[in-house]
Structure formats: C-alpha cells, structure tokens
Amino acid sequence: MDNQTFTNNILLVEGLKVTHQSTYPVFILLLLAYIFTMGCNIGLVIVISTEKNLHHPMHFLFCNLPLNDILGTTVIMPRLLQDILRETSERYMTYVDCVVQAYFVHVFAAASHLTILIGLTVRLSRCKHKIESPFCDNASLFKLSCEDSVAINNVYGLISTVVIFIFSLGSVFITYGKITAVCITSKNKALNCKALKTCGTHIAVYIIMFVSCAIMVFFHRSPEYSENRKLASVMFHIVPPGLNPLVYGLQTKEIRQRTFKLCCS
C-alpha cells in the first residue's frame, strides 16, 4: 500500500525485523513459547478453580496472576505471530485497535500512570502512521504526533516511570532484606532452605521483568537501540508469564500436589 492511501485510521506496525530465512524458526519458537505460557496459566486456573481444598484467599490470589498473564500474552502474541508471516509493508492495524491493544498492554503491566497517559495521547493530532514497535503501547502512540505537547507526555512518562522503578526496587530490597534477616537468625534449616529456594526464583523472575521493562521504556528514546527494545518488549510479555505458574504455582505444596494428582489421574 502506498503512503498516500493511508488514512488517519490505518497504521503500519513495524514489528520485528526478521530475515526471510529465519521467519519460520522465529515463528515456531514464539508459537511454542505462547502455547507453553497459555498451557501453564490455564492449567493453574483450572486446578485452583476445580479443587475445593484450594478455595482460599491465597490461592485466589494465585489465580488472579495467571489470568493477568493470559490477558497480557494474548493481547500481543497472536497479532505478533501473524505479522511475522507477513511482509513488513503489509502489517496494518486500525488506530482504534492500536489504542485498545495499548490499553490492555499497560493493564497487564499494572502501569496505571501510563494507562492514564493513553487517554491524553489519543487527544493529540497525528502526522505519522508508523508504529515503531512489535505492538502498540503508549510510547508508540504519542510518537505518531508532532505536537509540542508530546514533550510534556515524554517528560511525565519518564519521571513517573523512574519513580515507580525506585519504589519497586526499594520495596523488593526491604522485603527480601527482612526475609534474609529472619533466615540468618532462624536455626530451622528446612525453613531457610525453602525460603532461599522460593525467594531465588521470585528474584529471577523479577529481574527479568525489571530489566525488560527498563530497556523497553528507556530505549524508546534511543532509535539506534530499537531492535534491542523490541526484543525486550517481547520478552516482557513471554518470559515472566511462562515462569510465573512454575514459581508461584508449583512451588506451593497444595497446588503442586493437586496438579500431580490431576496429571496422574
């Protein structure tokens, strides 16, 4: 489609830059990752919802996490897989679909400040038609505008993201610091081993999410690192949702026993 045929309602999604030789390997790899992620999260929801012994507040909390992961993965992966098999010049999306996708992307990331920014972004006039990401998010949306107010959104988004990152790191540091202090003073080796195992996997998932999100946010302002940003954004929506059921689900004794029981039966 020629640029002149674009209207304000049609956008071109840049997507992942994949060579012709690696199109199908990348497609198969992402498809398997998507199937694994959906299988693990749906399985965890089924186990918790069907077993009456797991109908407790803690387990309902574990049930909300996979539902959020299912939403966050599904909102981008089917479209991303479809775009990989398309030519770069044929990856079209309507503006409304892009806004809806961006909204759910930030709902998944629990980025309420960016969800609010989406409402401000859609009010801007647009002079561009290219989404410079594998999927739509707020940063990609306000890059479509050439108004001076974009700078205000940019500064606000950067400052609020830094504040949230600092708060997140501080909370994790204080929490795990207290857990470490209890483990040091405790003489229960079994309890300390369980805490170390659980906290280790939690921190691993958190680091992957934090680094991916940081790269995705800050590299939006560095065009020369666009491919690194795209890879980080895809990892953010694939790796943690695939690991969360294993970390938060199977490490819980009751869920692990019910899962093995269902598998064996």
Q: Render pLDDT for 153-200 as a digit per residue (tens, 0 to 9).
A: 566 666 766 776 787 778 778 887 877 777 777 777 776 776 676 677
Look at the chain and report how many structural domains it folds into. Answer: 1
d(CA 256, CA 239): 21
Specify whether the CB–CB gap between 126 and 145 falls below 8 A: yes
The closest of 126, 134, 127, 124 to 14, measured between CA atoms, is 134
In a domain, 118, yes or no: yes
Among 6-10, 27-31, 98-102, 132-136, the range scoring the smallest mean pLDDT is: 6-10
Confidence of residue 132 (pLDDT cuts 50, 70, 90): confident
In a domain, 2, yes or no: no
In a domain, 1, yes or no: no
d(CA 95, CA 93): 6
- CATH no. for residue 243? 1.20.1070.10
Range of the structural domain that residue 92 is part of: 7-264
In a domain, 164, yes or no: yes
In a domain, 22, yes or no: yes
Reading the block at residue 220, the tokens are 């939006």
- When the pLDDT of each residue in the chain is averaged and rounded to a whole number, the result is 77
pTM of the predicted protein model: 0.76
pLDDT of 19 > 80? The answer is: yes
In a domain, 259, yes or no: yes
Q: What is the mean pLDDT of residues 111-125?
A: 65
What are the two backbone dihedrals, phi and then psi, of residue 161, each rounded to the nearest 5 degrees?
Answer: -65, -40
In a domain, 219, yes or no: yes
